[in-house]
Structure 1
Amino acid sequence: MAETKQETKNTITLKGSAQLVSEFFYYGINSILYQRGIFPPDYFTYKQEYGLTLFVTTDKEVKTYLNNVLSQIKNWLEAGEIQRLVLVVTSVDSKEVLEKWDFTIQNEPGVQTENGKEKVGNKDLKTIQKEMRDVIRQITACVTFLPLLDCLCSFDLLVYTHQNCEVPEKWAESAPCFIANSEEVRLKSFSTAVHRVDACVSYKA
């Protein structure tokens, strides 16, 4: 019995992986918004996740926006349609792109299909959460070297999908965002055994 329990615990389904990755994006995006001062500190409350104290927005509009985007991302993760999620930080006055937080998503090779239905991977949940915690810690640590955002800034989320992917009506096509004279820092990656996410931040030097 013990062996069966252990096996079940380590099995990550495609749906389970999509849920884990979209949850990570929720906390990761909130951490960036808080650490980079996109909104004032009183727009946030704190929550324990991944063994860390994380800050999440209390603003209704921002919460609705994030929930809408991330529920769609979860669907695209399950369908294998998504390639990248990019958080873009822009100056409100000049419209200049100041920072880009880039999360590249890949399907892990060698993932099994269970009974011809759903892809599954094998990895301990605690190990996955530790890897996610390490990425969030790096996001927090980035504040020490990223240039101060000393102007009013806004953020946007860009999602890169496969060409033939169906896009909801309210979503709009957008041009790629470039940063002139940019520097790039690669962050750690994490894997659910079904999806792998690589992270980096680009900023105006």
Structure 2
Amino acid sequence: MSQQQTKNSITLRGSAQIICEYLNFAINSVLFQRGLYPPETFKAQQQYGITLLLSEDALIKNFLKNLLTQSEEWIVNKKVSRLSLIILNVANKEVLECWDFNVKYEEGDVELSKEKKETLGSKDLKKIQQEIRDVMLQVAATISYLPLLDCRCSFDVLVHAKPDCNIPDMWSEAEPVAISNAQNVQLKSFSTSLHKMETVVSYKLMD
């Protein structure tokens, strides 16, 4: 008997879910590490072979759930180019920091997609998770040399989507964000073979 070699396959939906799962952990990690909310409001969870922290605050959980559920649909349909987590000074609304999560669209496994008649990737899930772990470790390391946020801060997330997207009722149009006197740090990227995620943090140099 000959055992047929079967490839790993990942669907567009599965890939978009991996991207949004990363975004959830990455945004939570920034909120925790930058001290926007008390540490006791976060709960540790094992993911990608490391310990990460997720907010237990109901408002934050609901905000991110709604944001990422909608973003997943748009990513499946190639409607999103970037999500931006912005950190603002509560007193004057000045943007102090911006975490850009850039989404690039890749072809996947062309032969497998042709055979199965749908767009598929064949990258090993363990390999993808290792790449995400490396990015998450870099997020934590990068935070250690960012300027201290010595004022009350809040956050928002902007979704850079195509104009033909139907915007949900609770959402609003936002102006582009600019940070004066900004420094940029490019983090490692990861790829599912269908989507590539590049993470860049821009921050204001404090006087």
Report the TM-score when normalising by structure 1.
0.94
For 1:109 and 1:119, the matched residues in 2 are separated by 8
For 2:5, the equivalent position in structure 1 comes to: 3
For 2:124, the equivalent position in structure 1 comes to: 124
For 1:71, the equivalent position in structure 2 comes to: 69
Evaluate the alpha carbon distance shift between residue 36 and residue 131 of structure 1 in structure 2; reply closer, same or farther with a 3 A threshold: same
Amino acid at match of 2:34: R
Pairwise CA distance, 1:106: 1.0
Pairwise CA distance, 1:96: 0.7
**Given the alignment, which residue of 15, 24, 27 partners 2:13?**
15
For 2:186, the equivalent position in structure 1 comes to: 186
- Asked if 1 retains the 8 angstrom alpha-carbon contact of 2:48 and 2:130, the reply is yes
Identity within the alignment, %: 46
Superposition pairs of residues 24-63 of structure 1, within 5 angstroms:
24-63=22-61
For 2:14 and 2:108, the matched residues in 1 are separated by 17
Amino acid at match of 1:179: I
For 2:173, the equivalent position in structure 1 comes to: 173
Amino acid at match of 1:196: K
- Asked if 1 retains the 8 angstrom alpha-carbon contact of 2:108 and 2:122, the reply is no
Q: Tell me if 1:152 matches 2:141.
A: no
Pairwise CA distance, 1:109: 3.4
Report the 3-state secondary structure (helix = DSSP H, G, I; strand = E; otherwise coil) of the residue aligned with 2:22.
Answer: helix
Q: How many matched pairs?
A: 201
For 1:85, the equivalent position in structure 2 comes to: 83
Deviations 1:31-83 (A, max 9, x none): 01011111110110100000010000000010000000000011111111111
- Asked if 1 retains the 8 angstrom alpha-carbon contact of 2:87 and 2:156, the reply is yes
For 1:143 and 1:164, the matched residues in 2 are separated by 36
**Given the alignment, which residue of 88, 91, 94 partners 2:92?**
94
Pairwise CA distance, 1:110: 5.4
Amino acid at match of 1:129: Q
For 1:115 and 1:201, the matched residues in 2 are separated by 40
Pairwise CA distance, 1:114: 4.9
Pairwise CA distance, 1:118: 2.9
Pairwise CA distance, 1:191: 0.3
- Structure 1 unaligned segments of length 5 or more: list them: none
Report the TM-score when normalising by structure 2.
0.93
Superposition pairs of residues 136-147 of structure 1, within 5 angstroms:
136-147=136-147
Amino acid at match of 1:50: Y
Report the 3-state secondary structure (helix = DSSP H, G, I; strand = E; otherwise coil) of the residue aligned with 1:103.
Answer: strand
Cα RMSD for the two superposed structures:
1.4
- Structure 2 unaligned segments of length 5 or more: list them: none
For 1:43 and 1:72, the matched residues in 2 are separated by 25
Deviations 1:133-172 (A, max 9, x none): 1111111001221000111100000000112222212210
